[in-house]
Structure 1
Amino acid sequence: MHEAGGILLDLFVIYAVARLAGELFERAGQPAVIGELLAGAVIGPYGLGLIGTPNRSLIEVFHGDPNAAQEALDLVYGLISELGVVVLLFTVGLETRLDQAVRVGGRALLVATAGVLAPFALGFGLIEFLGHPRAESLFIGAAMVATSVGITARVLRDLHATATREARIILGAAVIDDILGLMVLAIVVGLAATGQISVTEIGLIVVQAVGFTVLVVLIGVGAIRRLDLHLDRLRVENAPLAVALITMLGLAALASRIGLAAIVGAFLAGMVFAESRQQHKLHEETRPIYQFLAPFFFVITGSHVDWRVFLDGSIIGLALVITVLAILGKVVGCGLPVIGLGWRSVAIIGVGMAPRGEVGLIIASVGRSLEAVSDAMFSVVVVMSVLTTLLAPPVLRVLLVSRRAGAKAPGAATP
């Protein structure tokens, strides 16, 4: 079983390097996800070649066919990566209470909606204008949509700013943003599969995505409230966690079977269990699972970055343009609905919604797995995700400190 040993060695290298890179970036005040992505690019087949290529034993299993061995290794990587992102989206859903989406109010709804439409229109419009395939344009637009609000929340918490008006709008809009972003992904996956865009097709996909979401949430929330009464009576060890993971995998598989992304089902499963009395316990019990599996997704995702594409000046230029549009799309889209709050609030909310982090990468990875996104465009999305994630925290910190200083100035209005 030397071939299994080779794969296990790859997994050892991936996880060890992921944790080391994450630690270094955390110490530098940056999100661990950036370190994991860059580590993947360094140790991947386009970098040092420490992972991602089949060893001799694995090739021999496939009768000396290196292409078949590579496909098998890619399948293993893909399954582990998919499981990592499914667990990741489940934990995000587990932190998303249904009542939060109801209570955030009209202003947060407008911020979230405009913050989805503006970046999508800019990304889709640019790539379409440059003559890329329609499916690729759709995925690039979708990758620019969703916000990785966890990064923003960390800055708000560190500066004790979570109770501010801007923070409430950001965090409220982020709940809706997550749902809208996953709906956009579901629509884009469906359109990419058909290869064409029609009003009827869009309508069917929207109905399918909304119908699946509504049915899962309504039936799931009702079921979990009844199930809560019996979970503690089960004799199986960690029964609530087992039921939650079974539901996560089942809904992920069901979403995939009906043409949606598996992560849509995983996210909804998390939202359902967020209504459980066991929510806090489940959050603590799934944390080690997430911490173990998620780094595999980010390192493997980073390993797909082909450094050679950046020898092409046009690719670098496009990556920078996409990054600028990604930031402007959020600042303008999220800022216009709150223009009455003043320019500083507009900037705080816009920049707070700007980090794409892992969310843009997840969407681009789905497109890449469907062969709708090329390696070059995938690398462009990686650059956009990394730059927006790196730039947003320090800019947001400056804006919040400036706002606080302005509020303390003589004669300044109190928010």
Structure 2
Amino acid sequence: MEREIKQGGALPLGFEWGAVKAGIKASGNPDLAIARASRGAQAAAMFTSNQVVAAPVTVGRKHLGTTGGRVSLVLVNAGNANCATGQAGIDACNQTCIAAAETFGCVFDEVFPSSTGIIGVPFPADKVVAALPELKATMGGTLQNAESFARAIMTTDTRMKVAQATISVGGKEAHLFGAAKGAGMIHPQLGAPVAPHATMLVYLFTDIAADSAQLRELLPPAVERSFNSISIDGDTSTNDTVLLLASGASGLRLDDRSRGAFQGALAEVCEKLAYAIVDDGEGVTHVVTLHITGALSEADAKQVAKAIAHSPLCKTAWSSADPNWGRLMAAAGYSGVKFDPAKVTIRIGNQPVYEGGMRSPAFNEAAAHKVMQQRDYTITLDLRQGTGECRFVTCDLTTEYVKINADYST
């Protein structure tokens, strides 16, 4: 049976997208976006594990439970997170869902809401409701429509983040399109689908025919090695959401024949979007992939990676391309993972910097500094204990990040 994954391709069938200016963003840029599955879609979602969650996370989780994973509309606003807004925030979110259901002719519970922006500011539901008729008029199934959706959900992002893939199985094709936003407050810790618990929002659309249970099975492994393996600043948002929708309009079923190809395409799209989020991080000048190998488990490898990724000393050294490998070892050492420092090796790019419990005899500071001047490079740390490994994408910490976030609400 022929199975193929291709980058790009046509947009998934069965969806329309649109965006308008509702007056929520102070900039006056588009800030209200919608995606519609004309015949409904099966869905799976993963939400932030932060104990403080935004109203749309609470409402969206409830709606998925009520409908058994069926979604007809995705309504997203940028500029206001609708978080820490109390019962008034829940009521406002419900008000916009009711109005959207009436405008687009679907069941109230099949509206999936999302918000991103500043926390603690009353939610302007009236602006969302007033913009819905215009939003309906903007909708379409073209790439331009899909990209307008991707742009409208941006906050401190400097560019839209989209990815596409097509699978071919037995002469039939199914398509994937993903749109994401996020540039700060990025250290997603997404829980299991429909789990009780400046933001990352990710929307994945496919026209493969699948039920919600199948999607709930496939989404977590794709997320774990993509969105759960990135960090910009170590802050887990109150609004983080990944939503996967399947319209079924392609006619290709998700079964034993197509599962491998679809799983591969889903992983590819998620990894591209995850990288794009870090690459567009607030103030980022260097994207650093931490390749941790030789751990006793993948979990141990990721624990070491997170300790390094969240170290201000490591991140500031990366900003000036300073090959201060001692900071890497110090962070790994306090990560909580047990290892023998004398067995560890570290490379910056292809440059050896640490081995045998001390600086490598082959360490060339100038050569390592040159590697770190690149926009994108890899640091490899081998614990030499087992076969567990991970790739964790992170970045430097710059004065521009401080400036953006020092003035974010004022």
Relative contact order, higher structure (CA 8 A, sep 6+):
1
TM-score of the pair, normalised by structure 2: 0.27
TM-score of the pair, normalised by structure 1: 0.27
Instruction: Tell me which protein shows more strand as a share of its residues.
Output: 2
Instruction: Tell me which protein shows more helix as a share of its residues.
Output: 1
